Structure 1
Amino acid sequence: MFDWLVVGAGFAGTVIAERLASQHGAKVLVIDRRPHVAGNAYDRLDAAGVLIHQYGPHIFHTNSDAVFEYLSRFTRWWPYEHRVLARVDDQLLPIPINRTTINRLYGLSLETDAEAEAFFASQAETVEQVRTSEDVVVGTVGRELYEKFFQGYTRKQWGVDPSELDKSVTARVPTRTNTDDRYFGDKYQAMPADGFTRMFEKMLDHPNITVQLGVDFDQIRAAVPHRRLVFTGPIDEYFGYGYGRLPYRSLTFRHVTLDKEWHQPVAVVNYPQTEQFTRVTEYKHLTGQVHSKTSLTYEYPSEEGDPYYPIPREENQAIFRRYQALARSHPDVHFIGRLATYRYYNMDQVVGQALAAFRRIDEEREAERSGRTFQVAQTERESPVLS
């Protein structure tokens, strides 16, 4: 008999399993259908001995002291500030778009934030009501920059035009009037010094945690006795797709190793105008590894395959809300993580969500011990909590 069955050994499942085992002394079984822990953050040494990310680049960044301090118990950090270039009009230009980007693209010599702001204002179109991803960009930097940097990339990534996607997609990428070429501006920006997989292994290295890999939930749910459940897989799958399947965009990856030390000037180069792939990642920039060869990943969006990105359209949210309502009628099951809440979260947000879910479980446990009634909040099914 296990106190808890945790489905999924990614960030959500691993964090809450560690908390339940270390803080409550609970016996926890963690399962995953993949043959490894760490979910999409899984990294490994390839045949050449270069550390790569199996499922595309994962760059850790957060403004949360609590999240950073928690993960620091299980890893040392290698400081890393992520930079991305986009190949546009045969140039490699910084993205998010900043003053350097427009100076190089248009042969300008803007020197101040005010000058860059005035330039963007001169290009921006009036959008009466911002609803779509196209509206966000066109209303901020104008149609030409939208077409050069966003439209083609978004079409490849999502399989639909930005005019058909929720505004949240492109709102995630800021536009800057300064020359800051970092992709993120968070307080903490670093990579696990020994890799993500090693960090996960340390989190799960507890005598009360049992890990079984290569196992489907359907094989376990009736066969292994457990009192309560944490489910981090697709919520529609848990309920047998009773309201229909929630649509996702998937990815395929082509990993290659080159017999040279470096291939590109930064870790990630985006391709919004050309090629079938969306971006190319060179991992030694991310990890700081010293090696005579270099390994790259070419990333191709796909309609089929593992679920990666919930497609942000209102009709899809309507389906999810029906599953969300059904989940509330299962108080002994906690649905956390990207797939269980049908929302794209950064890694730190998933960690924050799992920590918040544990706090609620902890409060419920204390209430039961004292004989008080406690209404379990459903927040973990709606938004991450970072404190």
Structure 2
Amino acid sequence: MFDWLVVGAGFAGAVLAERLASERGERVCVVDRRDHIGGNAYDELDAAGILIHRYGPHIFHTNSDAVFSHLSRFTRWRAYQHRVLARLADGMLVPMPINRTTVNRLHRLSLTTEAEVEDFFATRAEPVPVIRTSEDVVVSRVGRQLYETFFRGYTRKQWGLDPSELDRSVTARVPTRADDDDRYFTDTHQFMPADGYTAMFQRMLDHPNITVMTGTDYKAVRDTVPHRRLIWTGPVDEFFDHRYGVLPYRSLAFRHETHDQEWFQPVGTVNYPGEEVPWTRVSEYKHLTGQAHPKTSITYEYPSAEGDPYYPVPRPENAALYKKYEALADATPNVWFVGRLATYRYYNMDQVVAQALATFRRIEAAVPPHSAGGARHAAAGE
């Protein structure tokens, strides 16, 4: 008899499994239908011996001291600040997010102060009385031309929808700057696990109270692996057999390549905002990992409507459908729903860790060790 069956060995499942096993002394079985732990953050050595991310680049960044401190128990870190360039149709490379260098290079200007850049944006911004969509966010800040150059095509490829059809939160994730800061993130903690994500997950799950079963579907073991309570980190609609219909997700396909040269591109990721190519970005892992190798490996990303669920699609009708599943989740005893898929939120890795730690605190308050507990639904930052 396991005290907990944890479905999913990504951040949400692994963080909770470790806490339940080490802090409460409870027996935990972790199952994942994939053949590995680590979820989408899984990394591995490719045939050339280069550490790559099987599911595209994962760059860790957070402003949370608590999240960073917790993960530091299981990994050493390599300082890394991610930089992204956008390759335009004419081959020009400019910093992304948009900053002063982007504006100067694109428009052949010599702006030197933030005030000058803000004035430039203001002369091009379009008034939007109520900002509702991703298009509204950008055109109200920097105008139609920069929106068309950097956001419209990329968003249409990434989401299969025009920005005018998407919630404002999508493009709001990408700031526009008036200074020359070319870092993609500005968080307090910006690091990569020194030995890779998989090694971090292995240490997290290396506990005598934890049993890990990869290549195992929940439905195949839910009636054969006895357990008192359940942590579910998969799609919430799947848990309820799509009772109200399928929640829409976007997926990704990847093309991994190894090149017989030391470097392929000048930064870790180059975005391709135009619709003249089907991929959205190309990432080169040696920038991220600091690995020294005479060859280099890269990954092309192709957004897709089919495949493993990656990104909840932020539209009002999808939020309304999720609310129906959320009500079911809240009413389901002995099951805790945690993570991006289980709570239908576009969370970063650190947000999922924070959500898992918050869920553990709620479990501690509500469920005595080794006894039946009630159903709970996780919310980030609780």
> TM-score by structure 1 length?
0.96
**1:279–1:298: 8 Å Cα contact kept in structure 2?**
yes
The answer for unaligned runs of 5 or more in structure 1 is none
**1:86–1:269: 8 Å Cα contact kept in structure 2?**
yes
Residue 191 of structure 2 aligns to which amino acid in structure 1? A
Report whether the alignment pairs 1:233 with 2:234: yes
CA distance in 1, matches of 2:375, 2:229: 14
SS of the residue aligned with 1:109? coil
Report whether the alignment pairs 1:72 with 2:68: no
Counterpart pick for 1:325 among 324, 327, 342 = 327
Residue matched to 1:169: 170
Counterpart pick for 2:278 among 263, 267, 276 = 276
Residue 92 of structure 1 aligns to which amino acid in structure 2? L
- Quote how far apart the aligned CAs of 1:242 are: 0.5
How well do the aligned residues superpose, as a CA RMSD in angstroms? 1.4
Residue matched to 2:249: 248
Identity of aligned residues (%): 68
Report whether the alignment pairs 1:43 with 2:39: no
Residue matched to 1:85: 85
* Closer, same or farther: CA 214–367 of 1 in aligned 2, 3 Å: closer
CA distance in 2, matches of 1:142, 1:5: 50
CA distance in 2, matches of 1:129, 1:114: 25
Report whether the alignment pairs 1:304 with 2:298: no
Q: How does 1:1-387 map to 2 (within 5 A)?
A: 1-88=1-88, 89-273=90-274, 274-365=276-367, 378=377, 380=378, 383-385=379-381
The answer for unaligned runs of 5 or more in structure 2 is none
Q: Deviations over 1:101-127 (max 9, x none)?
A: 000000100100111111101110000
SS of the residue aligned with 2:342? helix
**1:364–1:376: 8 Å Cα contact kept in structure 2?**
no
- Quote how far apart the aligned CAs of 1:367 are: 10
CA distance in 2, matches of 1:30, 1:366: 21
SS of the residue aligned with 1:339? coil
CA distance in 1, matches of 2:306, 2:236: 18
* Closer, same or farther: CA 360–376 of 1 in aligned 2, 3 Å: farther
- Quote how far apart the aligned CAs of 1:90 are: 2.2
Residue 141 of structure 1 aligns to which amino acid in structure 2? V
CA distance in 2, matches of 1:294, 1:326: 47
> TM-score by structure 2 length?
0.97
Q: Deviations over 1:24-49 (max 9, x none)?
A: 00000000000000000000000000
Q: Which moved more, 1:360-369 or 1:95-104?
A: 360-369
Residue 240 of structure 1 aligns to which amino acid in structure 2? D
Residue 167 of structure 1 aligns to which amino acid in structure 2? R
* Closer, same or farther: CA 285–367 of 1 in aligned 2, 3 Å: closer
Corresponding residue pairs, total: 379
Residue 70 of structure 1 aligns to which amino acid in structure 2? H
- Quote how far apart the aligned CAs of 1:243 are: 0.4
